[in-house]
Structure 1
Amino acid sequence: MKQTGIATKIILLSCGVALLLMVVGCILVVQYEMVLLNNMTNTKIDEKEEYYFYLLHHEKKAATQQLNKQINDLIRLMKSVDIIYAQTFEFQIQMILLNPMVIAAEFCDKKGQSFLAAWQSNTVEMATRLPDNLDIKSLHMIKQNIGIPAVEMIRLYYSIDTVRQKIISMKKKK
């Protein structure tokens, strides 16, 4: 067995320590990069979710403004006519229900009682009031006072499911 010199032992020990330090350094760098990548991914996901939440809020607001505009146009039309016939109500209510977000609409008298109501099923159904099986509590409502003798108020019940579906389809595309 050969004897090795002290210089060789020191060199081998130094190389071993250097190798160990390089392995530990590489492990630390890889872990740091993984944490950094996770943080960046989570930040991007959060930004996307924030964007879709903002978009949903904006679309809801725009839809509500559009429905309010439709109701105001209807009110202006009703105020411009001297005599309002039942056919006028039926036609106007059908026009409102053409909007896919609108589920139901009611015309109310001065006592707040419904005298004409319409709702979406397979077709547009009409009656003096909304049916009990229609779940209007889960819907959003716009209530607008008209202030003409025959009609005091319009209640419009709508759903934002179409807006949600639009945003979900946008998410799937990206």
Structure 2
Amino acid sequence: MAPHTRRLEPAGYPDSRRTTHDGRRTMKFLCVECDQQMAFAERDLPGDGTLAATFKCPKCGRVVAMLTNPMETQLVSSLGVEIGGRTVPAEPFETVRANVVTGGPSWSAGAQERLGRVPSFVRGMVKKIYADYAKERGIAEITPSIMDTARAELGLEGM
């Protein structure tokens, strides 16, 4: 490392390559002024495929925001990165409402199960991709097999 640079790490942490409880590496934001690890504060999903997340310094209160465009959001999702957690309790019939698409193809139980494993902040976009694919081809029911075919035809196999 060059003599005029320094390694930015949260105070008290000798190695910034920490992992989560399941062994995955985590990315953290650091307040440069306080040398404190910033805490996740809020996640916003405007519904247009973008993602906004804010982080706050526990010492000085400084807030930073991260905004991703739809392509970046999809990339983050494909890497398995999770930003924040569920901040509101589940609502009655939430799953049912999330899976009701007026005038679109129906979803088999297996396809719904697979869709349920997609991170919630991109689930709507993923569902729309498959629904559009099925509509364009006159497919009445989306199954895991249809999802596999769509991924291959649309070049989404790495996601």
Measured against the shorter chain, the TM-score band is under 0.3
Task: Name the TM-score, length of structure 2 as normaliser.
Answer: 0.21
Q: Which has the higher helix share?
A: 1
Highest RCO, 1 vs 2 (Cα 8 Å, sep ≥ 6): 1
Rg bigger for which structure? 1
Task: Name the TM-score, length of structure 1 as normaliser.
Answer: 0.20
